[in-house]
Structure 1
């Protein structure tokens, strides 16, 4: 019998965030042990030891941006399956820009309106409560979730996204833009060389019900299950102990 994976929902629980009550309803129907992990509680990788999947959920700006970015980096550099929806999409971009692309001051204007490198900015048109078309990258992992369809329709609830000024830089990196809207604005990203690392501006939890879980969520849980079956029982307890991590100096 396959053991259920442990999944961390990373964010700051609030009934005011539309996704959170929906997640509460979904959790009992996921084939996983799911824990809510407040962003302020993340002080090091030991906080997330034992989890086979990290899901950064909507609700930004978070109480601890640093805690969320630490979780994203841990997933990216150690191969833990990662799903980031809305705020999790935005912070995956920030973490990658800071630690891979060398944009040390990349930020979200929700935290700092005068950010030196405003990577995440207000969308031209708010997508709060909107359903919109999503074009899928041919051969991408995201497209495989939809049986390799060319496009679909998804539910959004967001007002911020990737600053158009930085799209070219992202496209030249190893971070793949795997979903975009009709105007070619990025709406999903992934790492092709990672077991499962997907960030979406849309929120699959909003179009899920206990009887019909979104296929992206199902794919993430399946990836977490595989990860739990193959990882060592005693994960690193500090950032420095994670052998695959690069020096942050």
Structure 2
């Protein structure tokens, strides 16, 4: 692996039964071969991410991958919070979308009891709730806000994306999340949120759809390419040495 390649933490509980996980290695290979965007990727189980803010901060990008419910909700939230607070390029997909919003609600909006209906976490009304119609195995149109980070990454104001989820954001929390700075820049045909981003951050983008499932796997989805580009653009010289990262579970292992 090129020692000067940006390093990305793939935070999630890797499983051969999660299709998105099995596709990621080929997608990153395609990024390197087609786009010349080489990433040094490490798999970080959520249990190891929990309480590891300083080590996660040594990465050039953090990708909170699908696979909810995670073995450690706290670890998933740590990944999102570290990226948000440290200005590290961040992509959250499917479960990553859900937990990035949960982290934001608790730590920025002060909704400390906000929870996730799938796991029963939180003492208050759930922020993440069952979708009216499950999207597992479905695809649908997403309308993207012009001029947004999402539009810049996708290169279009309308796209068709694939899903594998049954939970999304409760509309009851849209107002408070907006008031505290979060921007919703992608919705389905019914106006339900599918993309969110954080203005002022170098790159903070979350999608309910799974870009890992797009196409036949021989070309990385535009939002994955955008994350790689952001990691390269913001890469810090002081994290060039692999020894600063305690994990050795590289993508190829």
Q: Is residue 61 of structure 1 aligned with residue 73 of structure 2?
A: no
Where does residue 156 of structure 1 map in the other structure? 163
Q: How far off its partner does 1:151 sit?
A: 1.2
TM-score between both structures, scaled by the size of structure 2: 0.86
Is 2:10–2:65's contact at 8 Å kept on the other side of the alignment?
Answer: yes
Figure out how many residues of one structure are paired with residues of the other and give that number.
234
* Alignment counterpart, residue 114 of structure 2, candidates 106, 127, 149: 106
SS at match of 1:66: helix
1:51-85 Cα shifts (integer Å, max 9, x gaps): 10000000011111111111111100110000000
* Alignment counterpart, residue 174 of structure 1, candidates 174, 181, 192: 181
Alpha-carbon distance in structure 2 between the residues aligned to 1:61 and 1:75: 20
Q: How far off its partner does 1:21 sit?
A: 1.0
Where does residue 4 of structure 1 map in the other structure? 5
Aligned Cα root-mean-square deviation (Å): 2.1
Q: Point out where structure 1 has 5 or more consecutive residues left out of the alignment.
A: 238-249
Q: Is residue 205 of structure 1 aligned with residue 212 of structure 2?
A: yes
Where does residue 119 of structure 1 map in the other structure? 127
Where does residue 94 of structure 2 map in the other structure? 86
SS at match of 1:98: helix
TM-score between both structures, scaled by the size of structure 1: 0.88
Q: How far off its partner does 1:234 sit?
A: 8.5
Is 1:41–1:47's contact at 8 Å kept on the other side of the alignment?
Answer: no
Alpha-carbon distance in structure 1 between the residues aligned to 2:46 and 2:117: 19
Q: How far off its partner does 1:24 sit?
A: 3.1
